Amino acid sequence: MITASLWWHPGQGQGLEKLFRYARRMRNGGIRPNAAMSWAREGPATALLDAGKGLGYVAARRAMDRAIEIAKQSGIAMVAVRHSNHFGIAGYHAKRAADAGLIGIAMTNAGAEMAPWGATRPILGTNPWGIAVPRGGHHPIILDMALTQSGKGMMRWLDRAGLPMPDTWALTADGARTTDPGAAMDGPLLPIGDYKGYGLSLITDALTGVLTGSLFGAQVFQDDENYDVAHTMIAIRIEAFIARRRFDERLEALIADVLTAPPIDPDGPVQLPGQAEQERARWRLEHGIPVDGTTVAGLRDLARELGVPFALEPVA
């Protein structure tokens, strides 16, 4: 969660603010903090983890670590997780693989917010993907993305600021295009690439919820005592295909071409996926993570309730 706070814009709804939701879910039994997790199935290059309603971050990390371990032997591995919870940021889990020198893919299903293309009723989740590719001597490429153009967190943030949104983000509940984030708060989010993102979201649910025996479609995250989220992690060993040094040299050549492409806006240079997050993280590691007063008050209340020490150092 600290990683999410370091990487993300607060409007994107990840980070420390999620702690209150996790705490609420622990109280109502949807998340079991000390769940016994167990391996439900194991194959030569696959495994299935039963998270036993435990924390999604913990289960997904365990799954990716197992995928890395298997892929080091087999070249590619896929480890799925059933009966889990919100796994946080997909890019965090993908980065585990890149940090170990492998290519990592992490995906999850999520509460229904996207309608099938051409429909109004949300049936599918934003079903985010994280993909991380290691670089020699540099921070990995990290793509962390929902399969929708944007999310409700970002829309709420614009709505509070009185700002419009692009009309490609979400529809009204009746299925009309709008630039008013407030008007679309009860409507479906729009997928990336129109029907393409809808197809990707449907297939992501097939690869997570349907494949693992967890909930899927509009059922995920509906029952406060049983969120039953599913994730899928894939790790790929580069050396199964090419020498690592050659891969690194070739990837840097591609990156150099990408980064030197002439920008449309001279003040807006081309960036790699994950670069903005890394620059934000570097700044925040030095200067701190900005936290608003409401969040601070909430953290103090939560600490008091749980009997955990809480102290704020004044900003110098």
Hey, which residues between 144 and 183 contact a second copy (CB under 8 A)? 145, 147, 149, 168, 171, 174-175
Instruction: Mark 108-147 with x for binding to a second copy (rule: CB under 8 A) and - for no binding.
Output: -------xxxxxxx-xx------x-x-------x-x-x-x
**Cα–Cα distance for residue pair 143/163, rounded to 1 Å:** 27
Q: What is the smallest separation between the CB atom of 20 and a second copy, expressed in angstroms?
A: 28
Subset of residues 38 to 77 that bind a second copy, contact rule: CB under 8 A: 41, 43-46, 48, 73-77
Q: Which residues inside 195-234 make contact with a second copy, applying CB under 8 A?
A: 195-200, 202-203, 205-207, 209-213, 216-218, 234
- Is 247 a binding residue for a second copy by CB under 8 A? The answer is yes
Question: Alpha-carbon Rg of the chain, whole angstroms?
Answer: 20
Q: Is 238 in the site for a second copy (CB under 8 A)?
A: yes
Candidates 52-60, 157-165, 240-248, 289-297; binding stretch for a second copy (CB under 8 A): 240-248
DSSP string, 16-65: GGHHHHHHHHHHTTSS-TTPPPEEEEE-SSEEEEE-TT--HHHHHHHHHH
DSSP for 182-205, please give it.
Answer: GGGTTSPBPBTTTHHHHHHHHHHH
| Minimum CB–partner distance for residue 290 and a second copy (Å) | 24
d(CA 96, CA 233): 11
If the CB atoms of residues 1 and 99 are measured against a second copy, the closer one turns out to be: 99
Shortest Å distance, C-beta 145 to a second copy: 4
Min dist. Cβ of residue 254 to a second copy (A): 5
DSSP-derived secondary structure for 145-186: E-SBSS-HHHHHHHHHTT----TTSBB-TTS-B-S-GGGGTT
Query: Whole-angstrom Cα distance, residue 202 to residue 290?
Result: 36
The SS3 call for residue 212 is helix
Nearest distance, CB of residue 93 and a second copy, angstroms: 15
Stretch that binds a second copy, among 2-10, 13-21, 29-37, 192-200 (CB under 8 A): 192-200
